Structure formats: C-alpha cells, structure tokens
Structure 1
Amino acid sequence: MNSARAWLVFGGAAFVYLIAVMQRTSFGVAGVEATDRFAVNAAAISVIAVVQIVVYAALQIPVGVLADRIGAPVLILGGALVMAAGQALLAVSSGFWLALAARVLVGVGDAATFVSVIRLLPGWFEGRILPQLSQWVGMTGQLGQIASAFPFALLLHLSGWGIAFGVAAGVSVVAAGVTAALVRRGPERMTTAELSTVDAAERGLRASLARPGTRVGFWAHLLAGTAPTLLGILWGFPFLTAGLGYDPSTASGVFSMMVVGSLVSGPIIGLLVTRFPLRRSNLVLTVTGATFAIWTLVLLWQPVPPVWLVASLFFTAGICGPASLVGLDLARSFNPRHSHGSATGIANSGGFVGAFVAMLLVGLVLDVVDAARVARGAASQLYSLDGFRVAFLAVYLVAVVGTVGLLRSRARTRKRLYEEEGIEIAPLWVALFGARDRRRPPGVRQ
C-alpha cells in the first residue's frame, strides 16, 4: 500500500479525469457559438447541457455498483473511448439532434470516470492520506477546466468548431491509451468485522441508500457542487462574454479563477477534513454560504459589477469544487469497504442533480426575460446582464433545498452515531466556545 506503483496508478487515473473534465466543460466554452451553429435559443442550449448532466447523474449509481463488481480500470478505459466518440460526433454535427446525441455520449463516458477513479484509491492507499487524495484528484481535474478555457477556447476561435472538437476527441483517445498502460485494480481488502457481517443484502444498493451518512454525502455534494458545475459546464462563459461583455481573453482569465480557487483550497480542505472529521458538513455550509454571499453582491451591483468582484465569485465557486468532494468522503466513511463504489456514486450524483435542474431553469428564465423585452418593443438580447440577474436566482432555490436536505440528513446521522457508537457531536458554537474556555487558565473562566 502507498507504494511507488500505487502513485503511478494514481497519476494515470488522475490524468484521465483531467481529460474527462475538459470534455465535460468544452461545450460551455462554446455555448455562444453553439447558439449560432444550431440556430436555437437559450433553452435549447440548456437542454443539450442538461441532457449531458442528466445522463451523468443517472449513471453515477450504476457506475458505482459496476466499479465494485468488475473493477474501475475497465470503466475508466471505456469512458475515455465513449467520450472520444461523442466529441468526434459533435465535431461533425450541424443540427440540434446530433449535438444532443454527441453530448449524451460525452455524459456516459464522463460518468464512468470520476467514481471509478475514486473507487481505485482504497485498493492502493490507506491511512490519513486517503481523504486528501480525493481532493488531489479533484484539483487535477480542475486543470481540465483550464484546458477548455484557454487552449480549447483559443483553438475554437482560431480554427473553428470541427477542428477544435476533433482535437478534443483525439485527446480522449490518448487518455484511453494511458489507462490501458498504467491503471490497474488494486488488491481488495476487507476487515474481519466486515467479513463477519457481510451478506447478500448488505452488498446491495439499498443498503447504501439506507445509511443516513450516504444521504449526508449526497446533499453535501449537491449543495457545494451545483454552482461550480453550472458555471463551469454551461452558463459561466456566456455570462462573462455576452452578459458582461468581456473579450475572450478577459473572460478566460476570470473563468480560470475557478481553477485557481480549487487548486488553492483543495489541500487546505483536505487537511481540515482529516483534522476535523466530525465537522465536515460545517465546512461545506461555510464555503457555500460565502460563495452565495459574493454571488448576491455580483447580482445586485449597479450598473455593472467590477471585474475583481466577478473574479471573486468564480474563485469562491472554485472552492466549492473541493468542498463538494467532502460529500464523497462522508459517504465513504459511513459505508463498509465493499460498498464504497455504490456510496460514492450516490453522493457524486448530488451536485449534478442540482446542476441540471439549475441549468435548465436558467435557460428557461433567460428566454422568458428576452421575450418580455421584445414584447415591450426592445431589441432581442438573449444573454443580457439583466437576464442573467433574474435567471441566476434559480441557483438559490437549489441551494435552499440542498441546505435543508443536508441539515435533516445530518441530524439523523448524528442521532444514529450516538445510538450505535455513543459519539455525541455538539453544535458548532458549543464546540468553538467550549474549546476557547478550555484554553483559559483556571480562575479566568466566566
């Protein structure tokens, strides 16, 4: 365990996930061009992106189950090849339905990648480094957003649609080759306690769903993962270029702040998760609360928010990426080893369920706002800043649902933890002020 070979497997798998994120976010960079190429409105563009995310989210649980049964490397290899086929089809598509089919293929291949990479880790690593490795995988994947925001976007603008997506397809073929050469399934290990309690029922998906810790992971991933997914996959780049009027280079720079936020915060969040495992949900709530506070300032700022404030929004949205991975760690820690794939798949679907609901609502609201503008006699402006101010309110609705779900599931999990293991988790304010009181010398407490 934790050997040189383990790190080689980790490096190969992380690289493949980087390429998967690039394929996932490439359509968002091309959103405005896609509107013109396929002659459709914002709702139709939303449908293309939403279908991709729906496929991704729907396959998370089956992929988790398959990763437990047939092994992660097979799924990672297959996912890279399917993504290559999807991007190749998108490169030659000129109509809405072909583009839709292409993004379905990308969603299928993408769905097979991340959960499988995370499933590999317990077979090759153990100890305190394991929660941090999930963050490192996420950080590596964020480099895929840089690849879509800079080289892919530049290639798209210089060489056109077909060449850009054709090159993206070729890159996925390279990723498949890396998988075949480096990625192997680690030895399966099971503790004595697990061996004594495992039966056919416990191995099922129903057992993972029944564990409240799995549901905490789902809601944590939904709450923290919705904003970066929505901005990164579809609406972030159109908001910057068409809504705020940034030139492509400025938009790419601001867009890449999501990656900077992820890279900077990933190691810190990994250390905090390791150091304070009973406060992981508080970490998720804090990060998402800060993100939505800044988002509110951006939407309310008149007439146009300054670049530094918009960059701050994308930076904090980037921090939400590592925070969403806390949900996967929660699901893993509350499930036995033989169910890690299933539990991770359930949790990882959360952010994408939230994102596809929010993405579709944003597209629909943009169309409604533009239709109202035309009805008043004004010129059509589909991706206006005023339209985005209204449409982005849909993300707040998803965040409220996620917060309620997280708090309710957390309460059930803490109750079960106390009943089964005698561990009582005090409210955060009690822990903070209690720790401060304990640090005071005798005679100073009040």
Structure 2
Amino acid sequence: MTQTYPLGGRRAWMVWATAVAIYILAIFHRTSLGVAGLVAADRFDISSAELATFAIVQLGVYAAMQIPVGALLDRFGSKALLGVGLITMTMAQIGFAFAGTYTAGVVARVFIGVGDAMVFVSVLRLVALWFPPARTPIVTQVTGIIGQVGSLLAAYPLAFALREFGWTTSFLIAAGAGVALSVALVLVVIDSPYDDQERTDLKMRAVGRAVHLAWKEPGTRLGLWCHFTAQFSSNVFAVMWGYPFLTVGQGLSASEASVLLALMVLAGVIASPAFGVFVARYPYSRSTLVLWLVGVMMVAWAVVLLWPGRAPVWLLVVLVVVTAAGGPGSMVGFDLARTFNPSTRLGSATGIVNVGGFVAALSTVALIGIVLDVVAPGGPATYTVDSFRWAMAVQYLVWIPGLVMIVRYRRRTRRLIQTDNAYAHMIPPRRIDPGW
C-alpha cells in the first residue's frame, strides 16, 4: 500500500471541506421542513399526523438505508456515494418545489431521505482515512457540528425566502446548490490518500460478511445505542417539531423562534470541540459522557414541560442549548465504531450506528404527531401549550430504553476487553472506569 498524500495535509483538508459542504446541504434539505412545516400544512391541507408523515418517511428511509449504504460504501467508496446522494437530493427537492398534492410531497421527501442517507457515513469514512487516528475524534466532532450550518440556513434564509418568494421558488433555489457542489465533488474529492486496490476488488459476499462482523461487535452496538439515545431529541426539534413548539406552543414570534433555532446550532458548535477533546483524552469514559448528557437533557425537558403555563424565554434558551448538545454527544457512537472495527468494515459499522439516532427520531416524530392529533384534533390552529406538553413528553418513552441498552452493552464491552486477548491493547493503563 503506497501513501500518495500525507494524512491531515492540505489535500486532506480540501477533500474534507468539499465533503462537509455536501453534508451541510444534506442537513439543509433534511431540516427544511422544520421551518416550512406550517406552510406545508396549509399548502397540502393536512392534519398533524399527516404533516409528521413527511418527516417520518424521510427519516425512515434514511434509517432503513444506513446498513445497505454502509455496505455499498465499503464496496464503492465515498466519492461515488456522495455523487449519487447529491444528485438524488437535488432532483427530489425540485420535485418537492412543484408538488401540488400530499402524495407528491411524500414521494419527494422519500427521495430526499434516500440521497441524505448516503452523505454522512461517506464523509465519516473520508475523515477516518485522511486524518491521523489521534486527530480523528476531533475532526469527526467538527464535521458533525459544521453540518448543522444547514439547519441555520433553513432557520433564516429559507424562512425569509418562503415569506418573500413563495414555496416553489424557495425550494428551486435550494435545489440549485446541488449542481455547484457536484462539480466540486468531481474535481476535489479522492477516496483515499493511499494507492489501495483492496476496496475496489472487494466482492459483495465479503461486504455482507463485513456487515455481519460489524454487527456482532458489542462495541458497534454500544455505539448504536449511544447515538440512539443522545441524538434524537435535537433531530426531532430541528427537523419537525421545534419551530411549532416554540411559536404555537410557547407563543414566540417567528423571528424569536428562528433566533432560538440559530442558538441551537451555535451551542452545538461550541460543545462539539469540547466533546471531541474529551473523547480523545478520556476514551475509556465515552459512554459515561453520553449517560450524563442524556440525564441533563431529561431534566431540562422536565422543567419546561412541568412549568405552569408557557416557559420563560431564559428557560427556553437553556432548553435549546442542552438539547443541542445531544447532536455532538451522539457522535461518540461513531468513535466507538471506529475503535472496534478495522477500516475494511468501517462503512458497515458506521451505517449500523447511524441507524440508531434516526430510528429514535422518526419514532418520536410519529408519536408526537399522533399525540397532537389526539389532544388537538382540530389541527395546528388548535395547538396550545398543553397540547405540546403532552406531545413532547413522549421523548421519555425513547430515552429510558436507550439508557438501559447503553448500560447493558457497555457492561458487555467492558467484559470483552478484559477477557479477550484480541482487545488487550484497549485495556486502560490505570484501573479507571473503562466506560466505552
């Protein structure tokens, strides 16, 4: 194997920057419905559950495709999958711009989910291959949070465009960004800094075996449950229900809600490097970090939901800051996948982990929509603070089993590294808590 480019060098940062730009666009497409949700409800004349279906099908397709996409990533590499994903999202957003019926809108969101599913795991593989292992946790954290700029673009420019230019023009402008990025992808991105033919010669049967081996690895499943438990609340808030919760449920203006959504992105940006440094410095306490983070999120939501009437603005600020931390916190799951799997099955392991957060997110989006339809059957016009109090409380039905599974697999992983010689290099030099 010949190394043609230095790890972490100028070319590595060029490849990374181009891939992250595509990831930003994917996040924008994913979260655009969070700002456009109430407009979509009027455009398609649909109920709360039907509105939630847009996000459910998008996230459901995303989650369902993670394992096959991970296998294809090990077979064909990041550049090919980023290209297919970018083209698919662009065409789907054009379709969404012209969708005049509920069915057409749902079909468009399905294909946005298809394209989106190919992006993040492809970017993480590039990070793992192009940067030194000691720097990978920090670059991974920065990758995840810079992608959230896409949420910021949805919170401000898209909200402005919908108000000034209307539905079709706004989404056509969004789709146009994919054309420019496809050119950059072709010119800049290279799959690996090595002259390595192993991936291109990999047969699909071997790819299937890589998925099986990645799934058997307890560290992979610990990563999945860390991602499942920490990530979904921030995703649900950004993708679907945060904007209605803040405006209709908490009585904020559209501009005030946009400011809080922007603050959520900023909070994640600040938290991300800190989490990256923690993971790099204390690799044996990664799941411990997730457990504490989820506990703080549960407390913050409990205070807001139990507050008499509408919560004060300062408390909502605390809520969005704490919820935002779940995004970078969930990236611990990918670092666990990287630690416990060789590079030949890194795509498969990353795809398995990525399933976790999005299964949790789509389940929560659906449950919130169902509860809102029960407590406010008249649709968005009848939402109240109490409607959202009941609906947002369903998050605890997802958090609690997630915490149980983290504890279960962290114990199993801990036993494995203490008893299996293949993991001897992972045993801490001091008898500290190997939280993994």
Structure with greater Cα Rg: 1
Aligned partners of 2:281, 2:178: CA distance in 1, in Å? 37
2:3 equivalent in structure 1: none
- Give the AA of the match of 1:411: R
> Deviation of residue 229 (structure 1)?
0.8
Q: What is the aligned counterpart of 1:335 among 322, 337, 341?
A: 341
> Deviation of residue 188 (structure 1)?
5.0
**Count of residues paired in the alignment:** 417
1:356 equivalent in structure 2: 362
Q: Kindly tell me: are residues 328 and 189 of structure 1, through their superposed partners in 2, closer, same or farther at Cα, counting changes over 3 Å?
A: farther
> Deviation of residue 256 (structure 1)?
1.4
Q: Kindly tell me: are residues 380 and 154 of structure 1, through their superposed partners in 2, closer, same or farther at Cα, counting changes over 3 Å?
A: closer
Q: What is the aligned counterpart of 1:136 among 117, 142, 149?
A: 142
Aligned partners of 1:279, 1:181: CA distance in 2, in Å? 40
Q: What is the aligned counterpart of 1:19 among 11, 19, 25?
A: 25
Aligned partners of 2:95, 2:206: CA distance in 1, in Å? 42
SS of residue paired to 1:40: coil
SS of residue paired to 1:302: coil
SS of residue paired to 1:303: coil
> Deviation of residue 307 (structure 1)?
1.0
Q: What is the aligned counterpart of 1:368 among 360, 366, 374?
A: 374
2:278 equivalent in structure 1: 272
Aligned partners of 1:283, 1:226: CA distance in 2, in Å? 16
Given that 2:268 and 2:324 are in contact with CA atoms closer than 8 Å, whether structure 1 keeps it comes out as yes
Question: Does 1:172 find its partner at 2:178?
Answer: yes
2:351 equivalent in structure 1: 345
Aligned partners of 1:383, 1:88: CA distance in 2, in Å? 31
1:303-343 alpha-carbon deviations (Å, 9 max, x no partner) = 21011111211111111110011101111111111111000
2:168 equivalent in structure 1: 162
> Deviation of residue 9 (structure 1)?
0.4
Given that 1:52 and 1:107 are in contact with CA atoms closer than 8 Å, whether structure 2 keeps it comes out as yes
1:76 equivalent in structure 2: 82
Q: What is the aligned counterpart of 2:328 among 318, 322, 345?
A: 322
1:444 equivalent in structure 2: none
> Deviation of residue 91 (structure 1)?
0.6
Aligned partners of 2:315, 2:295: CA distance in 1, in Å? 16
Question: Does 1:414 find its partner at 2:414?
Answer: yes
> Deviation of residue 69 (structure 1)?
0.8
1:443 equivalent in structure 2: none
Q: What is the aligned counterpart of 1:44 among 40, 45, 50?
A: 50
1:236 equivalent in structure 2: 242
Structure 1 residue runs of 5 or longer lacking an equivalent are 191-198, 433-446
Query: What RMSD over aligned residues (CA atoms) do the two structures have, in Å?
Result: 2.1
Q: Kindly tell me: are residues 97 and 426 of structure 1, through their superposed partners in 2, closer, same or farther at Cα, counting changes over 3 Å?
A: farther
Question: Does 1:4 find its partner at 2:16?
Answer: no
- Give the AA of the match of 2:34: G
> Deviation of residue 174 (structure 1)?
2.1
2:316 equivalent in structure 1: 310
Question: Does 1:114 find its partner at 2:129?
Answer: no
Given that 1:224 and 1:320 are in contact with CA atoms closer than 8 Å, whether structure 2 keeps it comes out as yes
> Deviation of residue 202 (structure 1)?
8.8
SS of residue paired to 1:30: helix
2:202 equivalent in structure 1: none
Q: Kindly tell me: are residues 380 and 23 of structure 1, through their superposed partners in 2, closer, same or farther at Cα, counting changes over 3 Å?
A: closer
1:125 equivalent in structure 2: 131
> Deviation of residue 117 (structure 1)?
0.5
1:397 equivalent in structure 2: 397
Q: Kindly tell me: are residues 159 and 403 of structure 1, through their superposed partners in 2, closer, same or farther at Cα, counting changes over 3 Å?
A: same
Aligned partners of 2:417, 2:383: CA distance in 1, in Å? 48
Q: Kindly tell me: are residues 407 and 159 of structure 1, through their superposed partners in 2, closer, same or farther at Cα, counting changes over 3 Å?
A: same
Given that 2:305 and 2:393 are in contact with CA atoms closer than 8 Å, whether structure 1 keeps it comes out as no
TM-score in terms of structure 1 length: 0.90
Question: Does 1:246 find its partner at 2:252?
Answer: yes
Identical aligned residues as a percent = 40
> Deviation of residue 431 (structure 1)?
5.2
1:59 equivalent in structure 2: 65
